[in-house]
């Protein structure tokens, strides 16, 4: 009986230790990202991802950072490399949490970056996929501010391309800002970004 209790205690201790290491690693990485050190933070998240094989969060942030950089990259070769790195990380997220709305939004963002990279080739090929993914995310989590914002943001781009009214989408972006005020992430490490982007998008609407 004593041996069994000892084994259980050691097992619990190992779980607590692993959780503590994960928490510490994520806190450090997110702070590094907040400080603007994108190269260092990718190394940190990759290190966490190599250990946390069943947790989608480290690879999610790798995908997010690479995709965000891709949108701001003017060099097409570098942009493509960033998109490919994002998709590689995203593939792990898709395997672990295919129907998670945050993961769905991230995949839609990567596809959108691919459209920006090569509109003529990827616009027709991926636009339908992006809308399908975002509509799926919206059905799952209509109160998630990133879902609402990303869906409206993509629809604005489509509307502008076809010369359509963007007011309904702008209203949805305003709604996303309201949702950001009340949204509570599952943990301190789950996605909480996007408010600043939504606020900038609203300004562009006016």
Question: What is the predicted pLDDT for the residue at 104?
Answer: 98
Question: What is the predicted pLDDT for the residue at 12?
Answer: 37
Burial class, 194, CB count within 10 angstroms (exposed 0-12 / middle 13-18 / buried 19+): buried
pLDDT in single tens digits along all 206 residues of the chain:
454 444 443 333 344 344 688 999 999 999 999 898 888 999 999 999 999 999 999 999 999 999 999 999 999 999 999 999 999 999 999 999 999 999 999 999 999 999 999 999 999 999 999 999 999 999 999 999 999 999 999 999 889 888 899 999 999 999 999 999 999 999 999 999 999 999 999 999 87
Q: Does domain 1-117 have CATH number 1.20.120?
A: no
* Phi and psi based region of residue 118 (left: phi greater than 0; alpha: psi -120 to 50; beta: remaining): beta
Sequence spans of domains, the chain: 1-117, 142-206
Question: What is the predicted pLDDT for the residue at 37?
Answer: 85
For the chain, how many residues are written? 206
Phi and psi at residue 15, in whole multiples of 5°?
-65, -45
Question: What is the predicted pLDDT for the residue at 149?
Answer: 98
Question: What is the predicted pLDDT for the residue at 67?
Answer: 98
Question: What is the predicted pLDDT for the residue at 19?
Answer: 63
């Amino acid at each position: 009986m004593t041996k069994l209790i000892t084994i259980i205690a050691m097992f619990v201790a190992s779980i607590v230790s692993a959780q503590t290491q994960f928490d510490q690693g994520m806190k450090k990485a997110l702070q590094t990202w907040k400080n603007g050190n994108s190269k260092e933070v990718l190394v940190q998240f990759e290190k966490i991802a190599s250990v946390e094989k069943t947790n989608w969060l480290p690879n999610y942030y790798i995908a997010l950072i690479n995709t965000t950089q891709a949108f701001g990259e003017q060099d097409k070769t570098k942009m493509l490399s960033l998109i490919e790195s994002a998709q590689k990380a995203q593939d792990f997220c898709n395997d672990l949490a295919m129907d998670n709305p945050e993961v769905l939004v991230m995949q839609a963002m990567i596809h959108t970056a691919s459209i920006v990279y090569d509109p003529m080739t990827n616009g027709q090929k991926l636009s339908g996929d992006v809308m399908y993914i975002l509509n799926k995310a919206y059905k799952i989590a209509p109160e998630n501010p990133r879902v609402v914002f990303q869906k409206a943001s993509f629809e604005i781009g489509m509307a502008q391309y076809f010369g359509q009214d963007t007011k309904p989408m702008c209203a949805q972006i305003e709604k996303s800002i309201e949702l950001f005020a009340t949204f509570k992430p599952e943990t301190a490490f789950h996605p909480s970004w996007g408010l600043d982007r939504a606020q900038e998008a609203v300004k562009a609407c006016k």
